[in-house]
Amino acid sequence: MLSKKMATALNNQLNTELFSAHLYLSMSSYANSIGLKGAANWFMVQYQEEMIHFMKFYNYINSQGEHVTLGPLDAPPSEFPSLLGMFEQTLQHEMFITRSINELTELAVGEKDHATQIFLQWFVTEQVEEEENDRELIGKLKLIGDNGYGLLMIDNELGTRVFTP
């Protein structure tokens, strides 16, 4: 059973995961509109992953006998400065999510809510991977700079990302 405070905090995170999904869906569409099909694929996979994160919170909240309260959500931006800018924004957003997961974990520890601590462990690990991927791509994009051939190469690489639920 969840405390009222814990249930509210988990529900807030559920909505934040849905916002994350919308943010990456918007990035996918923008990348597609500027001809970066590989990047569009990468952000579409990211969108699908965020929907899995959303569903994990949904299922956990329900499994504890609570129900979710959806939205309202902020609209994500619909235009972005560059591919590098998109990944920098992605990293900033993921760092915000990491802080948010850490705060949830601290709350669960404080409340001696062991089940929620175990549930959140998956997200703690996932955030390390998310930030690492973003940093790696930002590093490559900085190296490439304005080189069109380099950008094409990285777009091809981004096109190989596959959604694995």
- Work out whether 113 is an interface residue with ligand OFO (CB under 6 A): no
- By CB under 6 A, what part of segment 54-93 binds ligand OFO? none
User: Residue from 130, 137, 155, 158 that binds ligand OFO (CB under 6 A)?
Assistant: 130
Q: Please give the angle made by the CA atoms of 84, 160 and 99, to the nearest 5 degrees.
A: 50
- Work out whether 28 is an interface residue with ligand OFO (CB under 6 A): no
CB-wise, 137 or 151, nearer to ligand OFO?
137
- Work out whether 97 is an interface residue with ligand OFO (CB under 6 A): yes
Q: How many residues bind ligand OFO (CB under 6 A)?
A: 7
d(Cα 76, Cα 80) in Å, to the nearest integer? 11
In angstroms, the Cα distances linking 158 to 83, 95, 153 are 11, 21, 9
d(Cα 123, Cα 152) in Å, to the nearest integer? 32
d(Cα 114, Cα 120) in Å, to the nearest integer? 10
Tell the smallest beta-carbon distance from residue 20 to ligand OFO (Å): 3
Interface residues with ligand OFO (CB under 6 A)? 17, 20, 50, 53, 94, 97, 130
